[in-house]
Amino acid sequence: MKKRYMIKNLDCAVCATKLEKAIQKIDGVNEVSISFLSEKMKLVIDETREDTIMNEINDVIHRLEPEVEIIEK
Amino acid sequence: MDQKLKIKLYRIILSVILLVGAICLPVNPSFSFILYFSAYLIVGYDVLYKAVNHILSGQLFDENFLMSLATVGAIFLGEYLESVMVMFLYQVGELFQSYAVGKSRTSISSLMDIRPDYANMEKDGKLTKVDPDDVKVGDIIVVKPGEKVPLDGIVQEGESYLDTSRLTGESVPIHVRVKDTVLSGSVNQNGLLKIEVTKEFDESTASKILDLVENASSRKAQAENFITKFSRYYTPIVVVGAILLAVIPPFLFPHLTFEVCLERAFTFLVISCPCALVISVPLGFFGGIGGASRRGILLKGSNYLESLSQLKTIVFDKTGTLTKGTFQVTKIVANKISEEQLLKYAAEAELYSNHPIALSIKEKYTKVIAQEDVKQIEEVSGKGVHVSVSNEDIYVGNAAYMNDLEIEVPQIQDGTVVYVIKEKQYLGYLVISDEIKENAKEALTNLRQKQIQKMIMLTGDSLESAKRVASQLPIDTYYASLLPQDKLKRVEKLLNKDDTGTLAFVGDGMNDAPVLVRADVGIAMGGLGSDAAIEAADVVIMDDDLEKIGEAIDISKRTLRIVKQNIVFAIGIKIFFLILGAFGVANMLEAVFADVGVSVLAILNSMRTLKTK
């Protein structure tokens, strides 16, 4: 299933790549792309595990870039 | 400037005040230290916080870490002023950078401002605003003057001028009235329009275009990948270099104290921050893609900017690309009967055919055909048609068909020729031509003046009509009578030749999708409203304008030039200062100044890519 998010307070392009790589590693995430310039995150995830995946993504973000917020569109 | 940036600005100002106090009020050393230290914390606490946080999560070597290490180090060495100044300049640079990035973000998103926010639906005689997502196919929506058309549809009532410049880059408004198709993303200028929706929001033009441009960042140019790789190796190398710089020289050169070398090592670290590259290169490409889309040229990735700038060979499809794609009867030559009568026979014979040539004949013959008179229709594929009209045999077809029928006809070297025969008797012929686009010659001559070495035309049409078009345009070679799979083979053959270079195929996306996919760059013309073209192509030119190909090449070259300037400039200055820092020529302040300066200049340079004429 596809999801889109606005991603706020993303300050640098390297951080975006870093987050992208970390989220990619989460089990059940089939595709992720974060655009630093358009401040958007697109996810293709396993529907059955949606809640766990979203929790893990929030953990990753909190650990790597605590300032970053994601807002579902 | 948003809230976050303002807070940062206030912090910077406050720390400057404290810093001035520390310098001008030499009450006693501990008082100055407190002022220096609070100035340092106020301006840099977030950097320190992030650095600690990142270390805890196992990521060393980012810019926060470098800055914290260098400034804390300077404090321990007793260089308070220097420490605060470094943090201060770094933050000023960050502020500037955020501002510049924010600015390009807004200018890019404003030029892609085609996403409609609402649709007006009529309910119980009243207009209500609804989410475009909730509108279904077949619903009637109302678009008032000044509003964006939210979904694709057909006009049911009213007429108006539409501004489609956001979609096509074309500034002349188009006039629409009842039964005309309107596309989402265009802006209604004066009249009230009632529109029957034909496509849901996700399938509508505006959504398709936005999707395409937003996804563009996932296909990266080599230069972008280079930067990602570069920064992965670069930072660890620099840190190791800094450690060596601190440890080794004191042993080799007795006059250098450990403290001096440590300071040099910190300076080295400060200089090393690769921010200028890491931000300015993707920003440059993004700006190029954004600028192109404002001109009605959509690119599916920055890699295509790269390929476009290296283009050597362009292969054109003929019909609909170089020509208008609308066939017209341009000549009627009747033998012993009236032109009117000749046309009537031809139109009757083609009554049930949907071939473009048949359609053009029927269009020319404006009178009503008595359908019940037309019987025994027999189509000979690729050659012609035989019918019986009021019990007379009529044969209509090309020279090959006449040959089969063993009827002698004059040989005509002109467009597509259709002969008309009644009861074995030759009655005359019609010439049907496809007009060349008005600006085709100019556009192709222009391309030739860029760096395009070979221009080739492919067509499914006959050799004669190909020859006629090719002779009027600056084309090197043409291949005619090709089936869609032959076009693919021809392009593959070209791709395997050494002197072809980067190859683009230009088509209208109707039946050449495989070729568009196979070429290095697939360019679809007239993509507006054609989903197939948008899917298959790498570059979509929204309107039918051939000149946009040249424009796309110009934008790509310009973008690549700016990106290369930035890479060379940033790496060059970095290396220069790293050397100066290593030998103790540049101090920490100068190092930060160099770092921030390069970032700001590179970002400003990148923002130029947004500007298209």
B217 contacts A38? CB cut-off 8 A:
yes
Say how far apart CA B608 and CA B346 lie, in whole Å.
Answer: 59
A66 contacts B53? CB cut-off 8 A:
yes
What is residue B442's three-state secondary structure? helix
Say how far apart CA B253 and CA B76 lie, in whole Å.
Answer: 23
- Partner residue opposite B231 with nearest CB, options A9, A14, A35: A14
Contact list, A11 vs chain B (CB under 8 Å) = 94, 98
pTM above 0.95, yes or no: no
Short-list B358, B485, B526, B348, CA closest to B432: B358
8 Å CB contact between B197 and B152: yes
Mean pLDDT, range B60-73, rounded to an integer: 80
More confident residue, B114 or B454: B454
Note the Cα B3 to chain centre separation in Å.
33
Domain B119-213 bears CATH identifier 2.70.150.10: yes
Q: Quick one: pLDDT band at residue B112, thresholds 50, 70, 90?
A: low
User: Residue B60 pLDDT more than 80?
Assistant: no
Mean pLDDT, range B89-115, rounded to an integer: 77
Return the pLDDT at A42.
84
Chain B residue with CA closest to A32: the answer is: B218
Could you tell me which CATH number the domain at B298-323+436-552 has? 3.40.50.1000
Instruction: Beginning with the edge strand found earlier in the chain, give each strand of the sheet holding A69-72 in spatial order.
Output: A29-35, A40-45, A2-8, A69-72
8 Å CB contact between B230 and B277: yes
Instruction: Give residues with Cβ within 8 angstroms of B155, minimum separation 6.
Output: B176, B177, B178, B179, B180, B181, B182, B193, B194, B195
Per-residue pLDDT reduced to its tens digit, B433-463: 878 888 999 999 999 998 899 999 998 877 8
Per-residue pLDDT reduced to its tens digit, B299-351: 888 899 999 999 999 999 988 889 887 778 888 888 888 888 888 888 888 88
Per-range mean pLDDT, top range of B74-78, B110-114, B550-554, B600-604: B550-554
- Tokens at residue B112, please? 């892609």
8 Å CB contact between B193 and B155: yes
B105 contacts A9? CB cut-off 8 A:
no
A35 contacts B275? CB cut-off 8 A:
no
8 Å CB contact between B396 and B346: yes
8 Å CB contact between B16 and A21: no
- Partner residue opposite B279 with nearest CB, options A9, A13, A64: A13
User: Residue B1 pLDDT more than 70?
Assistant: no
Say how far apart CA B521 and CA B306 lie, in whole Å.
Answer: 10
Contact list, A63 vs chain B (CB under 8 Å) = 57
Q: Does B317 participate in catalysis according to the annotation?
A: yes
Mean pLDDT, range B498-524, rounded to an integer: 87
Return the pLDDT at B57.
73
User: Residue B358 pLDDT more than 90?
Assistant: no
Contact list, B98 vs chain A (CB under 8 Å) = 11
Note the Cα B123 to chain centre separation in Å.
40
pLDDT above 70 as % of chain B: 95
User: Residue B235 pLDDT more than 80?
Assistant: no
Q: Which of B62, B180, B317, B498 is catalytic?
A: B317
Amino acid identity, residue B400?
A
Contact list, B278 vs chain A (CB under 8 Å) = 12-14
Pick left, alpha or beta for residue B171 (phi over 0 → left; psi -120 to 50 → alpha; otherwise beta): alpha
> Which uninterrupted H or E stretch holds B369?
none
- Partner residue opposite B275 with nearest CB, options A12, A42, A66: A12
Which of the 8 DSSP states describes residue B149? P
Say how far apart CA B52 and CA B68 lie, in whole Å.
Answer: 9
A11 contacts B218? CB cut-off 8 A:
no
Q: Quick one: pLDDT band at residue B474, thresholds 50, 70, 90?
A: very high
How close, in Å, is residue B138 to chain A by CA atoms? 26
Instruction: Please list the alpha-helical segments (H only) found in B330-424.
Output: 339-349, 356-364, 399-405
The full DSSP string for B181-218 is EE-TT-EE-SS-EEEEE-S-GGGSHHHHHHHHHHHGGG
Mean pLDDT, range B510-539, rounded to an integer: 81
Kindly report the length of chain A: 73
Say how far apart CA B235 and CA B62 lie, in whole Å.
Answer: 8
Residues of B in CB contact (< 8 Å) with A are 4, 50, 53-54, 57, 59, 62-63, 94, 98, 101, 104-105, 108-109, 214-215, 217-218, 228, 231, 275, 278-279, 282-283, 286
Return the pLDDT at B196.
93
Say how far apart CA B357 and CA B588 lie, in whole Å.
Answer: 77
Looking at 3.30.70.260, 3.90.25.10, 3.30.70.100, 3.10.310.30, the CATH number of the domain A2-72 comes to 3.30.70.100
B278 contacts A36? CB cut-off 8 A:
no
8 Å CB contact between B66 and B73: no
Mean pLDDT, range B95-106, rounded to an integer: 78
- Tokens at residue B540, please? 């979509």
Note the Cα B127 to chain centre separation in Å.
37
Question: Integer distance in angstroms from the first to the last C-alpha of chain B?
Answer: 27
According to DSSP, the β-strands at A40-45 and A2-8 are antiparallel
Return the pLDDT at B97.
78
What is residue B426's three-state secondary structure? strand
Paired with B298 in beta bridges are B540
Instruction: Give residues with Cβ within 8 angstroms of A61, minimum separation 6.
Output: A19, A68, A70
More confident residue, B504 or B174: B504
Instruction: Give residues with Cβ within 8 angstroms of B425, minimum separation 6.
Output: none
8 Å CB contact between B407 and B335: no
Chain B residue with CA closest to A59: the answer is: B57
Say how far apart CA B167 and CA B304 lie, in whole Å.
Answer: 20
8 Å CB contact between B599 and B281: no
Say how far apart CA B403 and CA B120 lie, in whole Å.
Answer: 62
Contact list, A14 vs chain B (CB under 8 Å) = 62, 231, 278
A9 contacts B217? CB cut-off 8 A:
no
> Which uninterrupted H or E stretch holds B96?
helix B80-111
According to DSSP, the β-strands at B374-380 and B384-389 are antiparallel
Class of domain B325-435: alpha beta
Per-residue pLDDT reduced to its tens digit, B129-182: 888 888 889 999 999 998 999 999 999 999 999 988 878 777 788 899 899 889
Return the pLDDT at B38.
92
Contact list, A17 vs chain B (CB under 8 Å) = 228
Chain B residue with CA closest to A35: the answer is: B217
B98 contacts A37? CB cut-off 8 A:
no
Q: Quick one: pLDDT band at residue B529, thresholds 50, 70, 90?
A: low
A38 contacts B214? CB cut-off 8 A:
yes
- Tokens at residue B183, please? 């596309």
> Which uninterrupted H or E stretch holds B446?
helix B440-449
Per-residue pLDDT reduced to its tens digit, B17-59: 998 888 887 778 888 888 899 999 999 998 898 888 878 877 6
Return the pLDDT at B61.
66
ipTM score: 0.76
Say how far apart CA B577 and CA B571 lie, in whole Å.
Answer: 10
Paired with B599 in beta bridges are none
Q: Name the burial class of residue B241, with classes exposed (0-12), middle (13-18) and buried (19+) by CB atoms within 10 angstroms of its CB.
A: middle
How close, in Å, is residue A22 to chain B by CA atoms? 12
Short-list B57, B46, B64, CA closest to A59: B57
Residues of A in CB contact (< 8 Å) with B are 9, 11-14, 17-18, 33, 35-40, 42, 63-64, 66
A12 contacts B214? CB cut-off 8 A:
no
Say how far apart CA B530 and CA B168 lie, in whole Å.
Answer: 13
User: Residue B360 pLDDT more than 80?
Assistant: yes
Return the pLDDT at A15.
76
Q: Quick one: pLDDT band at residue B477, thresholds 50, 70, 90?
A: very high
Mean pLDDT, range B397-412, rounded to an integer: 84
Paired with B70 in beta bridges are none
Say how far apart CA B32 and CA B214 lie, in whole Å.
Answer: 52
Across chain B, mean pLDDT equals 85
User: Residue B111 pLDDT more than 70?
Assistant: no
| Domain range annotation of chain A | 2-72
Return the pLDDT at B588.
77
How close, in Å, is residue A34 to chain B by CA atoms? 9
Contact list, A32 vs chain B (CB under 8 Å) = none
Q: Name the burial class of residue B346, with classes exposed (0-12), middle (13-18) and buried (19+) by CB atoms within 10 angstroms of its CB.
A: buried
Q: Quick one: pLDDT band at residue B613, thresholds 50, 70, 90?
A: low
A64 contacts B108? CB cut-off 8 A:
no
Pick left, alpha or beta for residue B501 (phi over 0 → left; psi -120 to 50 → alpha; otherwise beta): left
What is residue B241's three-state secondary structure? helix
- Tokens at residue B117, please? 């926010």
Q: Name the burial class of residue B25, with classes exposed (0-12), middle (13-18) and buried (19+) by CB atoms within 10 angstroms of its CB.
A: exposed
Amino acid identity, residue B455?
M
Q: Quick one: pLDDT band at residue B85, thresholds 50, 70, 90?
A: confident
Chain B residue with CA closest to A11: the answer is: B98
